[in-house]
Structure 1
Amino acid sequence: MKSVVAIRHVDFEDLGIFEPILEEFGYRIRYLDPGLLGPDALEALDVDSPELMVVLGAPIGANDEALYPFLGAELDAIRHRLESGKPLLGICLGAQLIARAMGGRVFPMPEMEVGFSDLYLTREGLEGPLHHIGNPDVVLHWHGDMFETPPGATRLAYSHPCSHQAFAVGEQVLGLQFHLEVDPARIEPWLIGHAAELAAAEVDPVELREQAQRHGASLRERGQRVLREWLKNAEAAHAID
């Protein structure tokens, strides 16, 4: 059975709507929680063995290893995975860490981008799996930092507040600043877990809940289509059975 290791930093920021697609493709899912297990768990992780590695989001910064020491070990694990050439998916913080590992910058935006709003695809983005999103169409944004598309990667998407929203390296690496994985039907833990962050950014949780209900079915369908095509391409490129 194929395996995927998902590095998870906050319990409710999981694989979401991606989980059933991974199971459909025959993956056994394993979560690794460095916030609970510490840097040693990342240092002991065999990043070469899993057919797929996913690095998920968190309400901390990609440059915060002085505050959260496990991030240094996580960056090392990502660099090793990149060297292996095997499929790697990063979401929000995960994409920022991949960008850093590849030599790109991660820096604060003038203000947070939180909520359901439009994403625009570049020409290259339209030619790959992200074309299922639409151009433009609504996705869930939830970040205060932005990555710079790293050297050797291709910029795939942007929004008006954030000029770098997605990048790819061939078929094997995909970084998404936005949260395509979130199940809108399970938005409540996000509203509770990020209550202080939402209040500081003056974002109304009632409005976010209403947006999730309005866009939920479409986002689930489009997000799963993106993952299916990306997995198919990544597996074909790397002969994963």
Structure 2
Amino acid sequence: MKHALIIRHVPVEGVAGFRAPIEDAGFNVDRIDVTDPAFPSVDFLAPDLVVMMGGPMGVYESEAHPWIACQIARLSERMAADRPTLGVCLGAQMMAAGLGARVYPGGRQEVGFAPVALNPVGAGSPLRHLEDVPVLHWHGDTFDLPDGTELLASTGIYAQQAFRRGPNLLALQFHAEMGEDPRFDSWLDKWPDAIAAAGQSAAQMRADHDEHGPVAVAAGRRMIVDWLAGLRT
């Protein structure tokens, strides 16, 4: 059986709605937290699939989080070998950094449910399943588009919302995995400042989650099914 490794940066940001399509594609799913004493010794080249989830820290905060530099170095080796890799939010920023792009505070909080604008790209973007679907955004950092990658989606707030390099590397700034996971309530409790800075309220976020969440997750799963089917290993 193929092996997928989920890298979790904080406990409340897991693989959520993406787990089912990954398992359905024949992957045995393991998870490791960056705080696990075993994390520094993880071989990033070994898994058939690596999925890196989100977190509130910035890629540039390696002094406060020493594991960041270690993770990016090993991730760079994995991407140089073109091993299948998916990054979500912080995970996408890690991928950008590992490909040599600048990651930095964007100056605005993008928090809430909204669709992404799909960019005209080459054949078969898996993001086509998200057309006109409000998905969850929750970030204030952004990145430059790495050399050799293809921009897949943008919003009016941040241009870099998703990119790919060939069939094996996919980076998603937004959270199409979230919409049915009860950990969403923990996000509302843990990061009220980000909600307020984006001009949102917890009550409105919950209402939008109830309205848009199941549709967003269903579309996100179709996207992941599509992407996994096109992997070259």
State the 1:124 CA deviation: 1.2
Which stretch shifts more, 11-20 or 198-207? 198-207
Q: How far apart, in 1, do the equivalents of 2:105 and 2:190 lie?
A: 21
What is the aligned partner in structure 2 of residue 176 from structure 1? Answer: 172
What is the aligned partner in structure 2 of residue 64 from structure 1? Answer: 61
Change in 2 beyond 3 A, CA 1:29/1:73: same
State the 1:130 CA deviation: 0.4
**AA of the residue aligned to 1:75:** I
Q: Which has the higher contact order (CA 8 A, sep 6+)?
A: 2
Query: Where do residues 214-229 of structure 1 align in structure 2 (5 Å cutoff)?
Result: 214-229=211-226
Which of 147, 153, 159 does residue 151 from structure 1 map onto?
A: 147
Contact 1:125–1:157 (Cα < 8 Å) also in 2: no
Q: Verify: 1:18 aligned to 2:18, yes or no.
A: yes
State the 1:58 CA deviation: 0.2
Contact 2:40–2:67 (Cα < 8 Å) also in 1: no
Contact 1:125–1:156 (Cα < 8 Å) also in 2: no
Contact 1:180–1:223 (Cα < 8 Å) also in 2: yes
What is the aligned partner in structure 2 of residue 76 from structure 1? Answer: 73
**AA of the residue aligned to 2:177:** E
**AA of the residue aligned to 2:21:** I
Greater share of helix: 1
Change in 2 beyond 3 A, CA 1:185/1:213: farther
4+ long deviations beyond 4 Å = 199-202
Contact 2:53–2:90 (Cα < 8 Å) also in 1: yes
What is the aligned partner in structure 2 of residue 205 from structure 1? Answer: 202
Q: Deviations over 1:98-155 (max 9, x none)?
A: 1011111112122100000121010117831100001x43111000001111011111
Contact 1:116–1:140 (Cα < 8 Å) also in 2: yes
**AA of the residue aligned to 1:67:** A
Flag structure 1 segments of 5+ consecutive residues without an equivalent: none
SS at match of 1:145: strand
State the 1:185 CA deviation: 4.6
**AA of the residue aligned to 1:23:** E
What is the aligned partner in structure 2 of residue 103 from structure 1? Answer: 100
Q: How far apart, in 1, do the equivalents of 2:11 and 2:172 lie?
A: 19
Contact 1:120–1:137 (Cα < 8 Å) also in 2: no
Change in 2 beyond 3 A, CA 1:95/1:147: same
Aligned residues: 232
Identity among equivalent pairs (%): 33
Change in 2 beyond 3 A, CA 1:111/1:99: same
Q: How far apart, in 2, do the equivalents of 1:153 and 1:45 lie?
A: 26
State the 1:46 CA deviation: 1.3
Contact 2:17–2:181 (Cα < 8 Å) also in 1: no
Q: Verify: 1:37 aligned to 2:33, yes or no.
A: no
Flag structure 2 segments of 5+ consecutive residues without an equivalent: none
**AA of the residue aligned to 2:206:** R
TM-score by length of 2: 0.94
**AA of the residue aligned to 1:143:** H
TM-score by length of 1: 0.91
SS at match of 1:12: coil
Query: Where do residues 106-125 of structure 1 align in structure 2 (5 Å cutoff)?
Result: 106-124=103-121
SS at match of 1:227: helix
Contact 1:42–1:73 (Cα < 8 Å) also in 2: no
**AA of the residue aligned to 2:160:** H
What is the aligned partner in structure 1 of residue 50 from structure 2? Answer: 53
